[in-house]
Amino acid sequence: MKPETIINFTHHQSAHCENGVVSNLMKHNGFSVSEPMVFGIGSGLLFCYIPLLKVNHAPVITYRALPGHIFKKFAKRTGVKMKREKFSNPKDAKARLDENLAKNNPVGLQVGVYNLLYFPDEYRFHFNAHNMVVYGKQDDRYLISDPVMEDVTSLSEKELEKVRFAKGAFAPKGHMYYPISFPEKLELEKAIVKGIKDTCKAMLAPVSYVGVKGIHKIAGLIRKWPKKKGVKTANHYLGQVVRMQEEIGTGGGGFRYIYAAFLQEAGKLLGNEKLIELSKEMTEIGDLWRDFALEASRIYKNRSAQTDSYNKVADQLDHIADLEKVFFKKLKKAV
Amino acid sequence: MKKKEVPQDKSNLESANFRELCYAVDENGEYTTENSTGWEPKTVALKNAIEEINERIEDAKSRVLKGETSPIEYYMELHKMDVGILASYVGFWQWKVKRHFKPSVFKKLSDKTLNKYAEVFEISIEELKSMGR
């Protein structure tokens, strides 16, 4: 008989892996916190162009905070204490994981996506900031709750080792984390205000690659790409912008809908009507991001090369940036 | 986005039998979630990205056959890697990996070095040398 541990853990699907793991681990410990709440308190929303990094030979834009930051900020603002460990040796990493499972403690893991065999082939890129929960072991297979999947799944010891020790940017190095202590009562009110203020600050930052200014920056680049890089590369870059915005995990519209869901929930919790109104506005802005994606897809689908069409989608982005500038100023005053 | 407007287009998610979660508002304006089978604009973007990778693989293959590069570059492209990612997997500096692309250098590589690449690509040294032919 092989030792068997199955922790009574409830899998809830989420849009984004990091929020999902936090939300699921909190629920497991008896605190009902929704995915949008984790995202909002952890100041997940962002826009940032990272000029020095290229993924799949195209520039990188992120619509969310750096991997791990949502988690860190959420824990700090709610007073939850987290234990995090990284390992240089896969054996130690496995031993610590088994130890926790034996103690009935489900843990969060950071993993690479490329060797996650249950993902469709087309989605397996060298992206190392995916998150999952391991909640048991049965017949030498680890039981996995991957928040973006509809159902639970499993990985062999070797498969799990591979994804925990993926290499490249943001290499997980076996990164494992779990909550170790909780406040007596979870007080979300203050945490919400802190989370919102922090997001407004980032989105309105006077830095040309970040927030509202970053959106204008990308709009400007899109206008230049066809001439400077040629149509083929311009379309490849534009496709990557849309993929980053709409990829699995964003919940649609570059995380704007998750954020709107957060504002609605927060507004009700704080009894703040303004937040509920702003949630509606954010939804409308999310719809404009979707319109941008649709329009951009027409360019790279037909491989059309009119400079006009690039200018048109760039105009859409400039418009969104103007709206978000007004939006985050109002949001800052609302809390 | 309204709940009933959450797109249900055909996509490559189907092959893995899962639907992703989206946030949308119901008819009363309340936020809720809805699963989506896919959305065409992103399916096309992903398809183009895959095509781009396939072109890179084919290009690397033909350059190996012409004796312009070594099979290491071909397998690197096949695994959707770039020099930086491959270098971190095999534990060499990037310039060293690039040097191993040179057919004349590749020919003289020790089995120990070749094995490092073969392990990363999950193939045998023979397959690495012959590019699976």
Q: Is B122 found in the same domain as B67?
A: yes
Whether B41 sits inside 8 A of A240 (CB atoms) is no
Q: Outline which parts of chain A fall under CATH 3.90.70.
A: 5-32+81-181
Cβ proximity of A313 and A320 under 8 Å: no
Q: Which of A224-233, A297-306, B4-13, B101-110 has the lowest mean pLDDT?
A: A297-306
- Which residue matches tokens 């012959």? B130
In tens, the pLDDT along A69-82 reads 999 999 999 999 99
| Nearest by CB: A119 against B16, B45, B79 | B16
| Nearest by CB: B88 against A120, A168, A297 | A168
Q: Is B77 found in the same domain as B57?
A: yes
Interface of A with B in 12-41 (CB under 8 A): 13-15, 36
By C-alpha distance, the chain B residue nearest A256 is: B23
Residues of A in contact with B50 (CB under 8 A): 122
Distance (Å, whole) CA B48 – CA B50: 5
H runs (alpha helix) in A108-254: 157-164, 188-203, 211-229, 231-246
Task: Provide the CATH topology of domain A5-32+81-181.
Answer: Cathepsin B; Chain A (3.90.70)
Q: Is B50 found in the same domain as B11?
A: no
Given this model, what pLDDT does residue A2 score?
A: 60
Q: Is B121 found in the same domain as B57?
A: yes
Given this model, what pLDDT does residue A308 score?
A: 87
By C-alpha distance, the chain B residue nearest A241 is: B45
- Which residue matches tokens 């946030």? B23
Number of domains chain B is built from: 2
Q: Which residues pair with A60 in a beta bridge?
A: A50
Q: Is the pLDDT of residue A251 over 70?
A: yes
* Residue range A110-120: mean pLDDT, rounded: 93
Q: What ipTM was reported for this prediction?
A: 0.92
Query: Residue A304 — pLDDT band, cuts 50, 70, 90?
Result: low
DSSP secondary structure of B32-96 = EEEEESB-HHHHHHHHHHHHHHHHHHHHHHHHHHTTSS-HHHHHHHHTT--HHHHHHHHT--HHH
* Residue range A187-197: mean pLDDT, rounded: 96
Percent of chain A scored above 70 by pLDDT?
98
B132: left (phi over 0), alpha (psi -120 to 50) or beta: left
Closest CA to A258 of A72, A35, A61: A35
Q: Is the pLDDT of residue A54 over 90?
A: no
Q: Is B107 found in the same domain as B87?
A: yes
Given this model, what pLDDT does residue A1 score?
A: 46
In tens, the pLDDT along B48-100 reads 889 999 999 999 999 999 999 999 999 999 999 999 999 999 999 999 999 99
Distance (Å, whole) CA B57 – CA B77: 5
Q: Across all residues in chain A, what is the average pLDDT? A: 93
- Which residue matches tokens 């699907």? A13
Q: Which residue range(s) make up the domain with B76?
A: 42-130
Query: Residue B114 — pLDDT band, cuts 50, 70, 90?
Result: very high
| Nearest by CB: B21 against A125, A251, A294 | A251
Percent of chain A scored above 90 by pLDDT?
82
Whether A257 sits inside 8 A of B89 (CB atoms) is no
A114–chain B Cβ distance below 8 A for any pair: yes
Distance (Å, whole) CA B102 – CA B84: 17
Q: Across all residues in chain B, what is the average pLDDT? A: 93
- Which residue matches tokens 């404009």? A288
In tens, the pLDDT along A77-101 reads 999 999 999 999 999 999 999 999 9
Quote the DSSP letter at residue A10: -
Residue A293 one-letter amino acid:
A
Our CA angle for A46, A116, A127, nearest 5°, is 35
Token pair for A43: 């100041």
